[in-house]
Structure 1
């Protein structure tokens, strides 16, 4: 089945769709309850999320990247003759949470300042995505964490409604109301018009969107960004990348992304930092020391969220 045919099924009302079994039913003994230490230390909670990402890909086994050459942020010129992604295993984008995530990516006008048109089919895709990831270990852990912190309700329906609102409710950006959302900015990317008539790419921190847009010829990978201090240079095994690229011919001078992580992991990680952290969240995620930047839009919306490698 072609991807587009599969994704079209998600346009049906959520109650008419089929979902994966709950991970706690499939894996007996899976513990998604936060410890006292994790509740007191955000970094410990982020490490636990990494461990619970049962859907994370393995470099070399599930995908292959070619990092090319490095450059400073201000340097011009393409330092990568090849695509960043040289190969992705055929079945990856058919996995339930990955497939439903991909179905959402074409629901947006990337130009800031244009009001988004949200159809009922778009809403169906959003609700079905939330329903699917709610069955995964990272989101179950997130729910328990926020309940124990007194941030959200124990009721599953209320929790899923909160998640959907946080990520998909529209807000104003670029001088137009209803023109952006947390999901669009963080995962899809936006094109921002500047006062001199120049444009630039903002957001766009997701590796799946990068892979899909690169495979269509819309993204031109231009090399990785050198670390600020001497350290390990990225290779094909690295799952935290700081890179430069063009999207539709427009530059994203520096962008950081976690490669191979699942959609449910990223939703859980950024939601956790939004509610339990601050603007700068210095944490460890697996083997990586990160600052999870989490910017607010108003009081209760995510303006942007992304990882920055700590030196």
Structure 2
């Protein structure tokens, strides 16, 4: 994450707020464009974590909430607040309040090795494959396809995705064959579909993780999707995101702090406001893919579940047989 031309521990002062030095593209990313069969992947999770059980229990099969809690426990790549990264929540505000309540960036520091983790690194490589403006047909290159398949191959070696597979097999929702399952995941998340009247302009991955800027005529725009903390960190580092403060929790007297891993925030992206957005901070890409896929297959539009210390409603919107959107909302 070394920035060029930075000082003060890798920071640059840009305008009012401090911004990180621009993150450098990882050398590994170029390799991710090769055919997936020619790429190197990390060791299978079963060998790394001997005795890690990815079989769902009967209780979990009967309770989506218990299954989501188990996914949280299986997220070996989740970051530790204060150790792997630091955030500064700034001041709180109501959704309708105008004005920037945060003098600093949300992320004040991220460990150098975090984005080198295999699933994180592959996730980052996918983020530049999209045009953020909704309604533009996406051009998918052969290299983009390679990156998508290789990302699925990498996360398929982790415990959350293995658990997801076992769970959905028990429910009769997917094939027992792991290769078929991986193809289904790639299709579910990356196949293009229409949104806002334009065909082939969006996908579940683009909407949920990357974000889209939706024009509303008369020059009015809004940010849709964009629920991923890694994308937030990278875009903030580039100066594209302006963090404007957290949204007051529904319960009085509860304010987020640097340890909070479920945050409801307001920000501008490319100068366009997202008035309220909930994001899980520090979770791995494989955890989020597993969580939202699980809710898509066995849940409804509202999925009130416990994950770790948080009670959340995982909203899951369908577009036919695809994920239209998926994101957490903090519950009381």
TM-score for the superposition, normalised by structure 1: 0.98
**Which residue number in structure 2 is paired with residue 277 of structure 1?**
299
1:90 is aligned to 112
Instruction: Give the Å deviation of 1:286.
Output: 0.3
Aligned partner of residue 86 in structure 1, secondary structure: strand
Choose from 55, 59, 62 the match for 2:84: 62
Any residues of structure 2 matched to 1:99-248 within 5 Å, and which? 99-248=121-270
- What's the offset of the Cα at 1:231? 4.4
Question: 2: distance between equivalents of 1:33 and 1:229?
Answer: 36
Does 2:328 match 1:307? yes
Instruction: Describe the SS at the equivalent of 1:105.
Output: helix
Quote the residue 1:5 is aligned against: 27
Deviations 1:236-265 (A, max 9, x none): 000000000000000000000000000000
1:254-269 maps to which residues of 2 (within 5 A)? 254-269=276-291
Distance in 2 between the 1:232 and 1:284 partners?
18
What's the CA shift string for 1:184-216, capped at 9, x where partnerless? 000000000103331110100000000000000
1:36-51 to 2 correspondences below 5 Å: 36-51=58-73
- Structure-2 change in CA distance of 1:197 and 1:3 (3 Å): closer
After TM superposition, the structure 1 stretch with the greater mean CA deviation from structure 2, 280-289 or 5-14, is 5-14
Q: Who is 2:56 aligned against?
A: 34
Structure 1 distance, partners of 2:201, 2:25, is: 27
TM-superposition CA deviations, 1:50-78 (whole Å, max 9, x none): 00000000000000000000000000000
Q: Distance in 2 between the 1:83 and 1:143 partners?
A: 38
Shift of 1:227: 1.4
Alpha-carbon shift at residue 289 of structure 1 (Å): 0.2
SS at match of 1:112: coil
**Cα deviation 1:16-35 (Å, max 9, x = unaligned):** 00001110112211100000
Aligned to 1:197, what secondary structure does the other structure show? coil
- Within 1, Cα distance between the matches of 2:149 and 2:170? 25
Give the deviation of 1:160 after TM superposition. 0.2
Instruction: Please say if 1:75 is aligned against 2:97.
Output: yes
User: Structure 2: where are the runs of 5+ without partners?
Assistant: 2-23
Paired with 2:118 and 2:90, the residues of 1 have a C-alpha distance of 32
Deviation, 1:8, is: 1.2
CA RMSD of aligned residues (A): 0.9
Q: What do residues 253-280 of structure 1 show as CA deviations (whole Å, max 9, x unaligned)?
A: 0000000000000000000000010000
Alpha-carbon offset, residue 5 of structure 1: 2.2
Q: Is the 8 A contact 1:3 1:94 kept in 2?
A: no
The total of aligned residue pairs comes to 310
Tell me by how many angstroms 1:230 deviates.
1.4
Structure 1: tracts of 5 or more residues without a match? none
Aligned-pair CA distance for 1:228? 2.3
Separation of aligned partners in 2, 1:229 and 1:179: 39
Partners in 1 of 2:252 and 2:295 — Cα distance?
28
- My pick for the range that moved more, 220-229 or 233-242, is 220-229
